[in-house]
Chains A and B, each alone.
Chain A
Amino acid sequence: MAQVTFEEISASDFFYRNRDIAGFTNPSRAIFAAVRELVENSLDAAESLKIPPDIYVRLSYEEEASRETQVYRLRVEDNGIGVPPRHIPSAFGQVLFGSKYKLKQQRGTFGLGGKMAILYGQITTHQPAIVISSTGMSKIYMYKLMIDIQRNRPIILDRKVLINKERWRGTIVEFCLEGDYLRAMPKILEYFKQTAMVNPYANLTFVDPKGRLYKFTRVTKEMPDPPKETLPHPYGVDVELLQRLIHVTPYKNMLEFLRNHFHRVGEITARKFLEFANISPSKKPKKLSHQEIVRLMHMLKKFKGFLPPDANCLSPLGEELLRAGIVKELKPDFVAVHQRKPSTYAGHPFIVEVGIAYGGEIPKKGSFVIYRFANRIPLLYDEASDVSVKVINAMNWRRYKVTPDMPIAILVHVCSTKIPYKTVGKEFIADRPEVRREIANGLREVARQIQRFLTKREHVDREKRRLGVFSRYLPKIAQFSTKLAGREKPPDVKKLLRSVRKFGAEGT
């Protein structure tokens, strides 16, 4: 009989073994994911202070690793909030440690991304990572770290404290990793371009291993309001969350418990709910049995009396910035943007923003160019599975005079405290009916706007063509008839051409 051994594995071990789900599938995906995770951390860090981000990314070639992969050094610098020195080792050396577990819209959610990148670098190159950070106070801290995978703990190899004369604030992360830049390049460049599109207030600089410089310059210093933290909405809770809340709550009865831990629950609503659920308001939360907790969760979902979640914990881009971003990156002839009113799915507030653009630098490729974003992160993989793409494909675009041979780009941005991602790799959004409906309604609105533009343009084009035809032939008629008639001077066709322009002639 085979011996079965049981062992507990640490979080970092777990993700190390399952790095696929975090997006580190192969050498090309890995290098893309590393860049992306660090850039997103930097954007979060700047935005939480409402500072227009300045992010510098450098990828430099170190040495040959195998036939197809090379070792690169990745360095990302930002002007964000910085990491307090005591948190630096854990923030960069302990998986599932992060500051973004609260309920507000942010790019980071899992406490994983940056570490996966560092972990991947460490596994492939056996070299430590360097983190330099300052919160803008008098000192700068420099750490040289490695991750103890088995124990999910940072190993500090070196630590330096520098005097911050210039009061620099920000974070620099640098480490080596193995990857295949040549294959990753198109996605990485696309990632920067799309990031610039939905972050028009950011300066992004990228220097690639060949020394090529890609610069995406901000067009505005306007930034959306940073999101506020919020309590969970009763429709969105699960047993796990309830148990955690019960564990930490200082409140001694169910009425207070509900009033203080949930979003949009006041005294009256709480009482009504407890009556509905047949739970005594004075019941002690900590006395709830496991079965009672499960039942509570079900009742919370069933009760119709809760107000929908408030969306001020969300930070959509806003129509103006969205337009600025699209214009900046695509230079289209026409753009329409639309922000939907906040909505919710399963107790999570979300807002859909959409845009449609025509012409300019948008290629004609026989199908629409689709840009998908979630909390201002471009989603570049698994397009076909994404809910936006399903909605776009299901729409009857001909009704709006839009055909796939046109240079059309469609942009969908979903922001939420909880994006319904299908995977930890954050690549595509699941098909939720509520989300689908909002995307569809938003697209219909911008479709109507582009229809008006296309109709008008068609009209102008037709007029131009008409005038072209008349100005081509009328002078010839004048010329030949003059010769036939034996006259010297041809009749003046200007007046006739003017009348074509003014009234249009019959027939089309």
Chain B
Amino acid sequence: MSPEPLVSLRGIRKSFGPVEILHAVDFDVLPGEVHVLAGENGAGKSTLVNILSGVYADFTGELVLGGRSRRFSVPAQAVDAGVATIHQELSLIPSMTVADNLFLGREVVGRWGRVAFAFQEAEARRILDDAGLDVSPRRLVAELPVSVQQMLEIVRALAWDARILVLDEPTSALAEREVDALFARLGSLRDRGRGIVYITHRMEEIYRLADRITVLRDGVRVATAPAQELSPDELVTLMVGREVTRLRRKDSAAEGARQAGAAGRAPALEVRALTVAHPLPELARAGRVVVNDVSFTLAAGEVVGLAGLQGSGASDVLHAVFGALGKRAWGEMRLFGAPYAPSNPGEALRAGVALLTADRKGLGLAPWLSVTHSVSLSSLDRFSRTLGWLRRRQERDAVAELTRGFHLSAPSLDAPVRALSGGNQQKAYLARCLMVEPRVLLLDEPTRGIDVGAKADVYALVRDWTARGISIVLITSEMEELFLLSDRILVLHRGRISAELEGAVATKDAVLAAAMGVDSGEERDGFFAARDRDGGLR
């Protein structure tokens, strides 16, 4: 006899314009369970939970919550009914402070409707402390790195103490320790009888958390089963509908790089004494830096992984190499032996260096630009005749070919990117970086939010590019990915390189120890191991 579900969705259909996305989907959440929603990019997972959280009101079918049929017209109603949601795309307001964001929509008001800012700030400090998140409530969200923003979203949703918690890929930018902390919290919520809906593309997360799994494929529910009855291979086959080959480590690239070095060929990229000032001018004037005297070389066809905790400066290194930080960064760089000092991203792109940032919504995509235009944006020179008249046919064909390689699924290539599912947006963003045919590729969380099948595609492509001599600097919060792809791993701690490890022999413990600067005896604990380094990528 199973308990009464907290919420059940019955026969849900949802269309965008003339296209039906969800076809009569059933889904329910029991008290005290984690129900994982799995499926490929574009399967309809976010659409389904958006119906549950009141984002979409125009669907057919029934939503039963607390014993009666409901239909939310605005998200606030869902919140009132006890459904808290962490959306796939960050939904904090960048120009407001951390405290204001935490209390957004439920401001504590005093007499005359005045917001009790001081109270909110104190309360926010308490909430953040509880979560072990070392951020000042007064900081502007815009100044925080993506992963801290993602943790703020989580903290905000948890603070509502909702009966049903919906998490749509909450960990796509989080490192392992932060994920552990989140899971501990989710575990205790489950024990208190809350219902949790969890969407992720990370297999190990599914099996650590799930009580039940529902698989969606192309808007159809293909299975709902207890987690222990579904093996990982079965699950993947259900999701993708085809076999996915798993990639093994291969060290030929590193070998080739070493040979090239021995043969006296110039490395692809040489960075000497790179230093990046703090983004806040007053701290920068006081001499604070976020990257401190970093030097490394990158051979042709080599993949170097940059690892580090939040605030280690790894992302800043990539942005500096891309010329995106202007006068905040200094140091000496050489590209294939030639001096290289880009003063803006355009120069870096023309020199053959491309950057994929970790923040596709904030720094990557313009929501209304079509898929084609988004992908070709960095390569328009290639498609231009005199006066910048575009060869549109050629552009379309090139984009179509490239996106096919990623299995990008979109309503059409003329649809605005905002109509794509999160993972497909990431594929479009990746495609833009590749279309410039870079010689050095800087990747910050390249597989953020993309499904197992597409991940395998990306890994295969990385192999392919490196074999053709393209060099890659990689940041990823997924350890497995780091070890799988990197020839060498540089670990950063507080803006300095604290260790250099061979990819083939590196271990998780070694990377973590170096990332935490254990040598200097600075182990820290706390729920979320993030460090607010008073700054982000701006």
A binds B: no
Residues of A that sit less than 8 Å from B by CB:
none
